[in-house]
Amino acid sequence: MWMKTFKDLLLKSFPNLTESEINDFLPKKEILNSLKIVTHDEVVVQVYTVQKRPVIFDVRGRIFPTIFFLWKFPDIVYAFTTHRQVMNFIASGADLMLPGVVTPPIQPGISKYGNVSENDTVCVNLSSNKAAIAVGVASQSSSSMALANSRGKCVIIHHFYGDNLCTLEGMPVLPIPNLGPPPNGYNLRILMKIFLNLIAQEDVTLVEKRMKVKKMYQKIYSLKT
């Protein structure tokens, strides 16, 4: 595939990207390669690599970004956030379930599961780092997730950190870059702010405060570990 055609494909697949960003990412002399792989389910996947690192992959005519591409452009698809412990399950081949999703503090009129439609391309990151650790599709819409009462599936995973795409052409697995905490997920600063606001509330009984503080402490401790 010619480089210009590939750049046009990126712009079409990810409208949030600008032409200048693509040009900076793919200089004229950059070498683009294409290869086919076959999954365990015998699905043929077309993979496009730059410097032997996969950038995007094509599954039945649909383009997905790799985690490496998302490390460079972390905001081109919606990200669901999870805890580091859940990463081990994803690396074992599991999908992301709703109980494992870290949601931001409740705000009036804003869905805690974003604004995605069923089958939208999404990624998964960690509560401590917005660098993507998996890519897939939303198993249901945000509104359906909100009605599911934290039950069921959130993301059907197609690609995750450490899988065969990450070691394509014999390349070593790169360490996950630290891009800072996700802006729409829980982090320690947000949790501490909620904690202090809770302590200051006068219309909550002491028993209720103790219970909520206990839950908040457990949340903060889980993020530290």
pLDDT tens-place string over residues 87-118: 999 999 999 999 999 987 666 666 789 889 99
What is the structure's pLDDT at 118?
A: 97
- pTM metric for this prediction: 0.79
Cross-strand partners of 47: 35, 57
Structure tokens at 121: 């391309």
pLDDT at 171 over 60: yes
For 53-200, where are the E strands, in sequence order? 53-59, 62-65, 78-82, 96-97, 101-102, 121-126, 129-138, 153-160
- Which comes out higher in pLDDT, residue 18 or 191? 18
**Percent of the chain whose pLDDT exceeds 90:** 62
Q: Is the pLDDT of residue 184 over 60?
A: no
What is the pLDDT averaged over residues 78-86?
Answer: 95
pLDDT of residue 3: 82
Class of domain 3-170: alpha beta
| Mean confidence (pLDDT) of the chain | 85
**163 has pLDDT over 60:** yes
Is residue 208 scored above 80 in pLDDT? no
Which of 52, 79, 84 lies closest to 68 in space, CA to CA?
52
> Helices in 52-109 by DSSP H: which ranges?
67-72, 84-91
Residue 38's contacts (CB-CB under 8 Å, 6 or more residues apart) are: 44, 45
Rounded to 5 degrees, what are φ and ψ at 30?
-70, 140
Strand partners, 64: 57
Closest CA to 102 of 121, 83, 86, 117: 83
- State the pLDDT at residue 195: 56
H-run or E-run covering 47: strand 44-50
Length of the chain: 225
Minimal CA–CA distance to 210: which of 225, 195, 221?
195
Range in 63-77, 119-133, 194-208 the model is least confident about: 194-208
